[in-house]
A and B are shown apart, each in its own frame.
Chain A
Amino acid sequence: MARSVTTSRKTMTTLFAGTLGLLIFFPVLWIVILSFKSEGDAIKAPLEVLFSTGWTAESYSAVQARSDYPKHFLNSVVIAFGSTLLGLLIAIPAAWAMAFVPAKRTKHVLMWMLSTKMLPPVGVLIPIYLIYRDLGILDSRIGLVFVLMMINLPIIIWMLFTYFREIPGEVLEAARMDGASLREEIIHVLAPMAIPGMASTALLNIILAWNEAFWTLNLTSAKAAPLTAFIASYSSPEGLFYAKLSAASVMAIAPILVLGWFSQKQLVRGLTFGAVK
């Protein structure tokens, strides 16, 4: 039975949580507002900004005139989705095996994998740069897909592992008893249970790859530069720049924000890392 709550208390909670949520969300909201203001209005006091009448999209056209947004956007998409797909391809069998055929050392292997994630990227940039130069994959999408796949692989494996582990082994046994072949077992029994976890893992990984700003900046120049490089060119002012910076920021984060919002149910469902039993 659900607890009964008085309407007044529910109203209070809603008001309080709503205010807090709005405060946390405010910076994002604010750059959206500023991005539609003129540069002169954008540096005014907050209330003046809100009530200044002029709304304009000129910052967006200024940003587009200066940087080739579609190119950067496409690079971000290719790199984020590419590294995620490749990562899943390698991680699914590994996590699967660890979850269903656990050996004595499984946990150690898992922990070791996670510890590779603690390698500080700056410490190994020069070696990677030299290797990439020799392979001729500096400033290439392939190169970035590989690096981002590698740095997120431990997280992917771990997430999938914790998710797969929740699938009860008895279900498999039962299916096997019924004479299901391995293929049928996978398609009809396992996949429905595993897909939500994989979707959630993929989403988190896309977000992480989209926002990664060290390797993407240092290993690209022009051709493969994603949105993190696009935003880097607005990091220091040329005159008044708040509106342009806001517009560029909105353009850089909007795609992933929208994706995240639409898929937040899937994302949240798997984002437990085995924390919930």
Chain B
Amino acid sequence: MATNASRAAARLMISPAVVLLLGWMLVPLGLTLYFSFLRYNLITPGANPFIGWENYYWFLTDPSFKAAMINTLLLVGGVLLITVIGGTMMALLLDQPMWGQGVIRIMVIAPFFVMPTVSGLVWKNMFMNPVNGIFGHLALGLGMEPLSFFSEIPLLSIIFIVSWQWLPFATLILLTALQSLDQEQLEAAEMDGATWVSRFIHVMLPHLARAITVVILIQTIFLLSIFAEILVTTNGGPGTSTTNLTYLIYVSSLLQFDVGMGSAGGVIAIILANIVAIFLMRMIGKNLDA
């Protein structure tokens, strides 16, 4: 049992982290909150008068706002769907006995180490470019019209690129979880004459549930602020079809230099992110205690 002394020591040990994170959260957040009530445009200097809720009004009525919300959801949801399902299948596959598993694992894990900017640039130019990219050459070779990825399926293309980067992460976590599965339990089920499908549903999937929640939580945190991939491929376009919330705030505060409105957008994004966070925490909290 923890004594009072050890409690005090524990508090002392936690405090640097808590203080730093609190400062990291409150100082910029406070400033952002403050800016969000000012008319503050970097390129038209002068007094920055207090204008109340005006920035919030402009941001929320921005025609791009709705599109950005939907795109953010589609992007996060799409990537989660692909990586969780794909990752589960990859993990099941890699769990089978085979030769050269180490080499195959090394190949599968590689995209996780690639910088987002590099992967965006490489997919955009070397693969998805309709004139010189590999997909274009392949389509021509098969006698088809090359697909112009970023004009016809822009958001899907981004989802694809991001999924490529995150698939290894999901695969690794799920594979580790799968390998910790009690073999005897599986064999017992096999003896009982359970088919592979029912073994998967009744034995493996429940065992993987925790790992899947972890994958969802961690990836959501990163996927909500996807930025570099969009910046180097589509710049949020065409139109607003690949503008997510992060990118919209970037446009307001760093392309239009309207720091006031960008800050209002930041505050709104923080509120939304926290709603998602609470939701996720509930989900994962339940799963982690179990």
B236 at the interface (CB under 8 A from A): no
Pairwise interchain contact A20-B90, C-beta atoms closer than 8 A: yes
B270 at the interface (CB under 8 A from A): yes
Give the nearest-CB partner of A14 in chain B: B98
Residue among B173, B253, B262, B273 making CB contact with A272, cutoff 8 Å: B173
14 contacts between A and B (CB under 8 A): A90-B17, A96-B13, A114-B281, A115-B277, A123-B270, A124-B266, A126-B263, A127-B31, A130-B31, A211-B116, A249-B122, A253-B115, A273-B217, A277-B180
Residue among B98, B177, B217, B250 making CB contact with A13, cutoff 8 Å: B98
How long is the Cα–Cα vector from A246 to B105 in the complex, in angstroms?
Answer: 24
How long is the Cα–Cα vector from A277 to B182 in the complex, in angstroms?
Answer: 11
How long is the Cα–Cα vector from A168 to B14 in the complex, in angstroms?
Answer: 21
How long is the Cα–Cα vector from A87 to B276 in the complex, in angstroms?
Answer: 26
How long is the Cα–Cα vector from A94 to B111 in the complex, in angstroms?
Answer: 32
Pairwise interchain contact B117-A117, C-beta atoms closer than 8 A: no
Chain B 196-222 near chain A by CB (<8 Å), digits 1 or 0? 000000000000001101110110010
Pairwise interchain contact A124-B29, C-beta atoms closer than 8 A: yes
Seed contacts A27-B114, A96-B13; 14 additional CB < 8 Å A-B pairs: A17-B94, A27-B122, A43-B132, A93-B16, A93-B17, A97-B10, A101-B10, A114-B217, A117-B221, A122-B246, A127-B27, A231-B117, A253-B114, A275-B177
Chain B 155-196 near chain A by CB (<8 Å), digits 1 or 0? 000000000100111001101110010010001000000000
Pairwise interchain contact B273-A118, C-beta atoms closer than 8 A: yes
B32 at the interface (CB under 8 A from A): yes
How long is the Cα–Cα vector from A110 to B47 in the complex, in angstroms?
Answer: 41
Measured between beta carbons, the chain A residues less than 8 angstroms from B99 are 10-11, 14
Within A1-50, the residues touching B (CB, 8 Å) are 3, 5, 10-11, 13-14, 16-18, 20-22, 24-25, 27-28, 30-31, 34, 43, 45-46
Closest chain B CB from A214 CB (angstroms): 6
Give the nearest-CB partner of B30 in chain A: A127
Pairwise interchain contact A272-B13, C-beta atoms closer than 8 A: no
Q: A119-B273, A120-B269 are in contact. Are A45 and B137 (CB under 8 A)?
A: yes
How long is the Cα–Cα vector from A101 to B187 in the complex, in angstroms?
Answer: 39
Chain A residues touching B, range: 35 or more
Within A77-101, the residues touching B (CB, 8 Å) are 90-91, 93-94, 96-98, 100-101
Residue among A24, A45, A277 making CB contact with B107, cutoff 8 Å: A24
The 9 closest A-B pairs by CB, nearest first: A123-B266, A97-B10, A127-B31, A93-B13, A25-B107, A124-B28, A101-B10, A94-B17, A275-B211
Pairwise interchain contact B115-A227, C-beta atoms closer than 8 A: yes
Pairwise interchain contact B227-A214, C-beta atoms closer than 8 A: yes
Closest chain A CB from B41 CB (angstroms): 11
A167 at the interface (CB under 8 A from B): no
Measured between beta carbons, the chain B residues less than 8 angstroms from A11 are 99
Within A230-247, the residues touching B (CB, 8 Å) are 231-232, 234-235, 237, 242, 245-246
A190 at the interface (CB under 8 A from B): no
How long is the Cα–Cα vector from A234 to B113 in the complex, in angstroms?
Answer: 19
Pairwise interchain contact A109-B250, C-beta atoms closer than 8 A: no
A111 at the interface (CB under 8 A from B): yes
Within B262-290, the residues touching A (CB, 8 Å) are 262-263, 265-267, 269-270, 273-274, 276-278, 281, 285, 288
The stretch that binds B, out of A54-62, A63-71, A150-158, A191-199, is A150-158
B121 at the interface (CB under 8 A from A): yes
Chain B 91-133 near chain A by CB (<8 Å), digits 1 or 0? 0011011111101111111111111111101110111000010
Pairwise interchain contact A46-B134, C-beta atoms closer than 8 A: yes
